[in-house]
Structure 1
Amino acid sequence: MFPSLDTLVLANNHLNAIEEPDDSLARLFPNLRSISLHKSGLQSWEDIDKLNSFPKLEEVRLLGIPLLQPYTTEERRKLVIARLPSVSKLNGSVVTEGEREDSERFFIRYYVDVPQEEVPFRYHELITKYGKLEPLAEVDLRPQSSAKVEVHYNDQVEEMSIRLDQTVAELKKQLKTLVQLPTSNMLLYYFDHEAPFGPEEMKYSSRALHSFGIRDGDKIYVESKTK
C-alpha cells in the first residue's frame, strides 16, 4: 500500500494496460490525487475507466497516448472528461462545471447510435442524469455568400442577386448598366426589410457588402448625385 502517495508519474513509458483490479487500486492508492500517463501506451477506454478506482483522484494527464490518436482534439477532451466524473483538472486545464456538463452531453450524443452491446457503462449513468439526447442539428455558420435584393431606381424596381464578398465600389460597377449612371454619380442606400429604421447610406467604397448584414429580400436604393 502507498497511503501517503499523492502524485504518481507514469509518463513516457510502455505501460499499455492497467491490470490491477479496481478494488486493489483503491486499496493501494487511497490518497492519490494526481496521475500522469502522458505518452504511455494505453490503448483501451477500460483503462481510462479504471482511473475512477482512485477515490481521491482530481488531476489526470493523458496527452500522447495511442488510445486517443484517432479522435479530434475536441473529442479527446470531452470523452475523457465525461468518463472521469471526479477529475477537476485534465492535461493541466481546469474542468469547469459548464465544460463538464457540455462534455457529458456530448458523450451521450456520441454514443447514441452505437449498438447497445458496445455502449460504455458511463453512457447509461449519464442517460439517468440527462435523459436520452437527440443529436445536435448541423448549422452552417459560414457567412452568406450572396443575396437576392430589390434594386430601386427612380420608379423602377429590379430584383437581382449580388455577391456579398464584393465592395460597395464593385456593386456600383455591377449596377452601372442597370441604372444608366456613372459610378461617380451614384449614391447607394441599404434598407433592411426587417429593421424598424430607415435606409443606411453605403458611403464607403471599400466596405464589404457582407458587413451590412444584407439578406434575401433587402433593398438597395440608387440615387443620382446630380438629381
Structure 2
Amino acid sequence: MGDRLEPEVPADVVGRRLSCGGERATVRYVGPVPPTTGVWLGVEWDDPQRGKHDGSHEGVHYFSCRHPKGGSFIRPAKAIYGVDYLTALQQVYHYCIKKADTDISFYTKERSFESLTSVLLGGLEVNGPGPDGAIRRTTPYVQLLDLSGSLLSCWEDVSVFSLQMEQLEELNLSCNRLSLPSRPSTLSHAFYNLKVLHLNKCELTWPQILDCASMWPQLESLCLTENHITALQRPDQVLHSLKSLNLALNPLVEDTLACLSALPRLEDLNVSHTGLSVIRFDDAAPGCQTAMFPELKTLVMDNNNISEWCVIDELAKLPSLSELSCRRNRLQSSDGNPRTAEQMVMAKLGRLIILNRCQLLPEERRGAELDYIKMFGEEWLKSKSCSQSKAQFNCEHPRYQSLINKYGAPEEGELKRPEPFALKNQLLKITFVFPDDDRKPIEKKLPASMVVQKVKGLLYRLLKVPAADLRLTYSSPKKVATEIELDGDLRTLEFYSIEDGDLVLVRWS
C-alpha cells in the first residue's frame, strides 16, 4: 500500500498526531473506504464530540476508538502534521521579540537561543525534536519546557528533548495523547533530572501513570487534573520522591484514597472536584495520630460532597497537616452560619495554620476554640453522667477535652445552645464614604457573614470601578482617627469586627 499512497501522506502516518480545523486527532487508519475512491485517513479525535462513528463504515470496521462516536474519515489534504521543535522555536520567539520592538537581528541566529532557560511552545503544533543534536546546539540550558497541546505522539520522542536538555527540571505535556512505551524504565536516564511534570487532560488512568512512573525517578511534583483516574492503587517502588500531587477533576473512588499514603514524602495533595465525601484512617482511634501520610502538610479538597463532621475529625489524625482548603462543601453548623462552620473546623484541627487560603491569627483561633467549647458545653456536661454517652461524645468531639484542659470548663451561663442563625439579626448598617471623590455617602445593610470580595462586587455595580482597583478601610466611633484595612478578600465583615453604624472608606487607583 505504501507505493500507492498519495504524496501528501507520510509513509508512517498511522499513530501520528495531526490537526484539522483547529482540532487535534490521532491517525488510526490510512487507505481506501469503499465505495468512495482515493485515500482516506481514519482519525480518532481528542474531543469525541468532533467525531461521527467508532471507526466503522457501512458495516466494515476500519479502526477502533475509545469513544463510540470519536472517529471520522478525512481526506489527507486536510491534515496538518505540524513542525519540528527548532522551526517552532524560531517562529515563536522571533515573533514575540518583534512585537516588543526590540532588536531582532540577534535572535535570528541560532546561537541567540543558548541563553534561554524557559521555552514555552504550548498550543503549537510541535511534532518532534527535529534534526539530531539540534536541541542541544540551540537551547542546551532549558530548565522549563512547555509542549502542552503539541502533536507529539510518543514518549520516546519526548525523551529525545529531555536527553538534549540536561538541566530540564519542569516539563508540561498537558493536552497530549502520547502512546506509552513498552519498557518505560529504559527511558529513565532521559528524565533523571526532571522534578515537575504536568500531564493534565491526557486521558490517562492511574494504572498507566504507575506504569510510566519508572521513567521519572526524581519527580517531586505531578499534576494530573482532568484525566480518567478513578480507583487508586498503591504506588509501590515508584513515585517515592513525590512531594506534590494534584488529582483535581478526576472521578476518584474515595475508598482508595488511602493508597496514596504509600508515598512517604507527599506534602501537598489536591483532590478538589473529585466527588469526595468520606475520608477514613482506620489505623488510629479518634484523637490519635495516623501512620498514614506522615509528611502531608497541605490538603485541598474544595468542591466536593463532604457533609459529615467526622471527616474533619479524621483529618485531625494527620500529624503534619497545617493547611486545609475545604470550600464549597456541605459542612454545616447547627445555626446554619457559614462562619460558625469555619470556626468549628479551626477548633477541631488544632495544628492548622492556614484555612481556606487565609492565615489563622492567634486571636482568631482562640475565639473559635472558646466558641466551640460553649457550643457543645451542654452536651459535654450531660455526657459526664453516663459512660456510654461520654464515649460517644468523645468520639464525635475528640479534641474537646484538650480544649477544656487549655481554657477550662465553660461557665454555667454559657452552656446554652446558640440561637438559630437569623439573617435579619445579623444585618449591619454600613455607610460607604469616598474620601478621594465627590460622591455622596451610600448607606447599605449587609450581612455580617459577607466576605470582602462580595462587598467589592457590590461596589463595582454601584461605582463601575473594577473590584481589583478598590481599596477598603473602615473606621468605628470606638476607634477615633483609626483606619483598619480590609485586606483579605475572603474574610468576612464579622472577622474585622465591623459593627452596626461603622464607616467603610472606599478608594481606588
Same fold (TM over 0.5): yes
1:192-203 to structure 2, matched below 5 A, reads none
1:131 corresponding residue in structure 2: 408
SS in 2 for 1:28: coil
Match of 1:4 among 265, 285, 294: 265
Query: Cα offset for 1:8?
Result: 0.7
What is the CA–CA distance in structure 1 between the aligned matches of 2:333 and 2:346, rounded to whole Å? 16
2:308 corresponding residue in structure 1: 44
What is the CA–CA distance in structure 1 between the aligned matches of 2:311 and 2:325, rounded to whole Å? 13
TM-score between both structures, scaled by the size of structure 2: 0.26
What is the CA–CA distance in structure 1 between the aligned matches of 2:345 and 2:291, rounded to whole Å? 24
Residue 86 (1) aligns with residue 86 (2) = no
The AA in structure 2 aligned to 1:83 is K
Query: Cα offset for 1:29?
Result: 1.2
The AA in structure 2 aligned to 1:80 is V
1:175-190 to structure 2, matched below 5 A, reads none
Match of 2:363 among 76, 81, 98: 98
The AA in structure 2 aligned to 1:99 is E
Residues 16, 42 of structure 1: 8 Å contact kept: yes
What is the CA–CA distance in structure 2 between the aligned matches of 1:16 and 1:131, rounded to whole Å? 34
Residues 303, 326 of structure 2: 8 Å contact kept: yes
SS in 1 for 2:269: strand
Residues 43, 67 of structure 1: 8 Å contact kept: yes
Please, which runs of 5 or more residues in structure 2 have no aligned partner? 1-261, 384-388, 419-424, 428-500, 502-509
What is the CA–CA distance in structure 2 between the aligned matches of 1:100 and 1:87, rounded to whole Å? 9
Q: Given the superposition, is the C-alpha separation of residues 55 and 121 from structure 1 closer, same or farther in structure 2, using an over 3 Å criterion?
A: closer
Structure showing greater relative contact order (alpha-carbon pairs closer than 8 Å, 6 or more residues apart): 1
What is the CA–CA distance in structure 2 between the aligned matches of 1:127 and 1:69, rounded to whole Å? 21
Residue 65 (1) aligns with residue 329 (2) = yes
The AA in structure 1 aligned to 2:276 is L
Q: Given the superposition, is the C-alpha separation of residues 75 and 48 from structure 1 closer, same or farther in structure 2, using an over 3 Å criterion?
A: same
The AA in structure 1 aligned to 2:327 is L
Please, which runs of 5 or more residues in structure 1 have no aligned partner? 143-210, 212-227
Query: Cα offset for 1:68?
Result: 2.6
What is the CA–CA distance in structure 2 between the aligned matches of 1:131 and 1:109, rounded to whole Å? 11
Query: Cα offset for 1:136?
Result: 9.0
Q: CA RMSD in A?
A: 3.2
Match of 2:293 among 19, 26, 29: 29
1:112 corresponding residue in structure 2: 377
The AA in structure 2 aligned to 1:31 is E
Residues 2, 30 of structure 1: 8 Å contact kept: no
What is the CA–CA distance in structure 2 between the aligned matches of 1:112 and 1:27, rounded to whole Å? 31
The AA in structure 1 aligned to 2:315 is L
2:482 corresponding residue in structure 1: none
Residues 57, 86 of structure 1: 8 Å contact kept: yes
What is the CA–CA distance in structure 2 between the aligned matches of 1:88 and 1:44, rounded to whole Å? 22
Query: Cα offset for 1:26?
Result: 3.7
Cα-to-partner distance string for 1:168-201 (whole Å, 9 max, x where unaligned): xxxxxxxxxxxxxxxxxxxxxxxxxxxxxxxxxx
Residues 375, 415 of structure 2: 8 Å contact kept: no
TM-score between both structures, scaled by the size of structure 1: 0.55
Residues 264, 293 of structure 2: 8 Å contact kept: yes
Residues 290, 318 of structure 2: 8 Å contact kept: yes
Cα-to-partner distance string for 1:10-57 (whole Å, 9 max, x where unaligned): 111211111332449843311111001112112221110111222111
Identity of aligned residues (%): 25
1:182 corresponding residue in structure 2: none
**Count of residue pairs the alignment pairs up:** 143
